[in-house]
Amino acid sequence: MAKAKKATDQRTCIVTRTVHTREELLRFVVGPDNQLVLDFANSLPGRGIHVLPERKHLERFCSMSGAIGGRLRVRSVVVPKVEALLAHLDRVLNQRLIDGIGLCRRAGALRIGVRELSDLADNGHRPLVLIARDVAEHTRHKVARVVHRHTLDAPFELLDRERIGAVCGRAHVAVLMVTEKKLAKRLRRDVQCWQDCVA
């Protein structure tokens, strides 16, 4: 029987007023000069405020400076404009995606190509499947067939073949799989956040 999440792992989105785990939310803290700072890793000290990582919620969030200041117990807080916040989040997530793929490679938890995907699935593995946004249509169809045949989770799209290839030590990489669960969980969260907020 799975353990219930501890109450301390739950946070409330200031926009929707719904309760979620910390990993499902973006956290912000007050930094120098009362600037609101994104704490993507949930590691910065101080009182935090949370919001669901979706563009519509971030747009509303950026217009709530009074409520944000009250929740963070500061007289005034400088909330970034939504365009600046989304651009910053895009840079942070792109770097996290690149770092995450590199970490998977160094850990030996990365496989590349449709043939590797098919072999993994044929042997009962259920990897996280990632494809480049600029993948060729025939490759996209091959991936879709393997995913459908083995009822795998739908692949996530991210970055482009050249940037993924650079991390993997190749000229271009269009399809890759993460085979280690903890690393896959981190990448899945980052890709989902990137898609929901800035892609």
Please name the residue that has the structure tokens 């919001």: 51
State pTM to two decimals: 0.84
* CA distance linking residue 184 with residue 129, whole number of Å: 9
- What are the structural domain ranges in the chain? 7-80, 107-197
| CATH 3.30.9.10 is held by the domain 7-80 | no
Helix (H, G, I), strand (E, B) or coil at 30: strand
Tell me if domain 7-80 and domain 107-197 are identical in fold.
Answer: no
* CA distance linking residue 68 with residue 36, whole number of Å: 9
> Identity (one letter) of the amino acid at 67?
A
Helix (H, G, I), strand (E, B) or coil at 119: helix
Q: Using alpha carbons, select from 102, 85, 87, 86 the residue that is nearest to residue 163.
A: 102
Maximum C-alpha span of the chain: 59
Please name the residue that has the structure tokens 């969980």: 185
Q: Identify the DSSP state of 53.
A: S
pLDDT in tens, the chain (199 residues): 445 555 568 999 999 999 999 989 999 999 888 889 999 888 899 889 999 999 999 999 999 888 888 888 887 888 889 999 999 999 999 999 999 999 999 999 999 999 999 999 999 999 999 999 999 999 999 999 999 999 999 999 999 999 999 999 999 999 999 999 999 999 999 999 998 988 7
Please name the residue that has the structure tokens 């910065």: 44
**Superfamily of structural domain 107-197:** Ribosomal protein L30/S12 (3.30.1330.30)
